A and B are shown apart, each in its own frame.
Chain A
Amino acid sequence: MSSEWPLWEVFIRGQHGLNHRHVGSLHAPDAEMAIHNARDVYTRRNEGVSIWVVRSTDITASTPSEKGPLFDPANSKVYRHPTFFDVPDEVGHM
């Protein structure tokens, strides 16, 4: 059996009402220690107001090599962007 502590992914909410954001990872024996370690490793200069930790093995990621087919449905739908539509100058800001 490997005696290595499991790997955790760390997410931090910055000061300004932002989403939690991935900042890196670390090893810890359990979730509580992972939070403590994350505080020491990733918030030594007040970088956050809240921490999430998630076991790395619990993350399901999309496959980079399949990014073509995965994101393909959005490619042909440029009308989802407001700049697709011309607004006559006379109309002003919309």
Chain B
Amino acid sequence: MYAQMVKTDGTRVKSLDDMEPEERAFQQRIEAGQKIEPKEWMPEAYRKTLVRQISQHAHSEIVGQLPEGNWITRAPTLERKAILLAKVQDEAGHGLYLYCAAETLGISRDEMYEQLHSGKAKYSSIFNYPTLSWADIGAIGWLVDGAAIMNQVPLQRCSYGPYARAMVRICKEESFHQRQGFDILAKMVKGTPAQKAMVQDALDRWWWPSLMMFGPSDDASVHSAQSMAWKIKQNSNDELRQKFVDQTVPQADYLGLTVPDPELKWNETKGGYDFGEPDWKEFFEVIAGNGLCNAERLGARRKAWDDGAWFREGLLAHAAKAEARRTTAPAAAE
């Protein structure tokens, strides 16, 4: 997902009886569906896990601007360009909501940037694939944002107040992203055979990476079990992936496209599709930094940060000077 394989520090999920009174009261509040707010007591592992997850989520929004930014200057019409700009601006906004939510847990914005730029913090594997044609912009909106929505809707009920509230804002805006992507593809498949072929090619390249966004099966993962006990996570990776496939395949049918999975088949008894296994070796390579665009994406982020240093410092110096002038100005200077 936008946050993949988030570690929780624990080796097993504690039962209520194993907990000290403070932690037990905390866990009971979570189970009663109460939100945890920034200054309240929380286990250190809960805090750290949330910092990892929210910052990874924020980094994904920010890095996620890059593959689409590639096409802002090449959008086929002025209207498409304006729409894409608005979408990319939303991604920046989503990153900012999330960074602010993470900051309420005691990590600074600069620390988070530093972790991203040094490679210590991760962002979603999906943004390390290249956008080769205009159809890729459609495929990203339709598939990548579609997968993101699958994960983000339940996160609105997350136990940590600031994260849950950020997700409410994000979900409201995300639906525009998915529809604009689908709209691009729906237009293109009605175009020339070459345009339709571009759409099929985009689906062929983005289908499996989109399924990988949910992460490997986590049914046996202690981190996942812990995150669920804390209500930071509500559904297993496989559950969400199944939902995504069930929702998306009929849409691909509508577009007249072929999903690149020979094992894909409707299963009447489970009321969902059976589908093949993504190439997890590729997934782990991308996570480890060896994807097609990892170096390019991080390079672009670092360059933007370094090139902007004079500007950030300049504005801060100006603010300090203006403040000094305001506080030391003589009251009556006639």
Contact = CB atoms under 8 A, between A and B. Distances in A.
Interface of A: 2-5, 7, 24-27, 29-30, 33, 40-42, 44-45, 61, 63-65
A4 B110 contact: yes
Interface of B: 37, 39-41, 86, 89-90, 93, 96-97, 100, 103, 108-110, 165-166, 169, 173, 312-313, 315-316, 318-319, 322-323
A25 to B, nearest CB: 5
Given A27-B109, A64-B39, A5 B96 contact: no
B96 A26 contact: yes
B311 to A, nearest CB: 10
B39 A63 contact: yes
Contacts of B312: 3, 5, 29
Given A24-B166, A40-B89, A40-B93, A2 B103 contact: no
Nearest to A37: B96
A24 B161 CA distance: 12
B73 to A, nearest CB: 21
30 contacts: A2-B108, A2-B110, A3-B110, A3-B313, A4-B109, A4-B110, A5-B315, A5-B316, A7-B103, A24-B97, A24-B100, A24-B166, A25-B100, A26-B96, A27-B109, A29-B315, A30-B322, A30-B323, A33-B319, A40-B89, A40-B93, A41-B93, A41-B96, A41-B97, A42-B93, A44-B86, A44-B93, A63-B39, A64-B39, A65-B40
Contacts of A30: 315, 318-319, 322-323
Given A24-B100, A25-B100, A44-B93, A64 B37 contact: yes
Contacts of B41: 65
Contacts of B165: 24
A4 B141 CA distance: 33
Most chain B CB within a 10 A radius of its CB, from A24, A26, A33: A24
B39 A33 contact: no
Contact of A33 (B37, B166, B169, B315): B315
Nearest to B90: A44
